[in-house]
Amino acid sequence: MNLAYGLLETSSAWVPIRSGESGDFVYRRHDDLAYAKVASRSRVADLAGERDRLAWLHGRGVACPEIIDWRETEEGACLTMTAIPGVPAVDLSGADLLKAWPSMAQQLGVLHSLPVAQCAFERSLSRMFACAVDVVSRNAVNPDFLPDEDKNEPQQELLARVAQELTIRLDQESADMVVCHGDPCMPNFIVDPHSLRCAGLIDLGRLGTADRYADLALMVANASESWTAPHDAERAFSILFDILGIDEPDRERLAFYLRLDPLTWG
């Protein structure tokens, strides 16, 4: 709290919302028109990376927060951004999420259609795998991010399983590289609760060029937790890939990125 109050202008105007998995603190301004993220000194580079990605995205047709202010001291940094009106898709009922789903797919498609050559941010498979190697070497994989069947497996074995497919996935990536969100889970899609249309994307600190399936795997898997009926999940799966123009979704490729992603957080 003291760190945040030292970095936030007029600290009494801000309400603490949560602390994220990264350890950053998130605040909402009392008028609901702005949010602020506060990072400790060890996390300043990561928060600056999110700032730079938002600056690059501005004006490119992707609905996302705009930068209001950046403050940095010896203790940490604070990024203040405009708020996107709406609610996180994770807060929707399964029925409402299904209604919002097409516009969510369209918004992700706009991001994926941006020119790769103009994006200076990289989230390539080789970089993701190197990150996984580092996390596993420190025995730092968060078990909460792993599927139940993998929670008790040695981390080195989980990494080795990913490594077996690396060559073929690198070849696929080279043919299907897009600008990815990096963490397109339901809390990061903001939806208008009245029209049930996607109003924008948030938490873009992992944005970068990557295989589009790195995004699609997370979006599909995370959304599936909102539906109890299997036919709803399959319907959403079909809608997503139809909107993105993918005639034959590669389920093995989706599974690969779901195995890799939990190893990169730590």
Instruction: Say which residues have a Cβ less than 8 Å from residue 183's Cβ, sequence separation at least 6.
Output: 203, 205, 206, 218
Q: Is 183 a catalytic residue?
A: yes
User: In what order do the strands lie in the sheet containing 87-88?
Assistant: 87-88, 189-191, 198-201
Report the distance separating Cα 189 and Cα 223, nearest Å: 11
Looking up tokens 């060890």, which residue turns up?
Answer: 42
**Residue 99 CA, distance from chain mean position:** 21
What pLDDT does residue 19 have? 52
66: left (phi over 0), alpha (psi -120 to 50) or beta: beta
3-state secondary structure (DSSP) of residue 98? helix
Share of the chain above pLDDT 90, in %: 86
Report the distance separating Cα 97 and Cα 186, nearest Å: 9
From 24, 150, 183, 203, the catalytic residue = 183
Output the DSSP codes for 201-258.
Answer: E---TT-EEEEHHHHHHHHHHHHGGG-SSHHHHHHHHHHHHHHTT-SS--HHHHHHHH
**Residue 66 CA, distance from chain mean position:** 17
What structural domains does the chain harbor? 2-82 (3.30.200.20), 87-264 (3.90.1200.10)
Mean pLDDT estimate for the chain: 93
> Tens digits of per-residue pLDDT, 75-122?
899 999 999 999 999 999 999 999 999 999 999 999 999 999 999 999
Global pTM? 0.94
Confidence class for position 54, pLDDT limits 50, 70, 90 = very high
What pLDDT does residue 3 have? 53
> Tens digits of per-residue pLDDT, 231-246?
999 999 999 999 999 9
C-beta of residue 134 within 8 angstroms of C-beta of residue 191: no
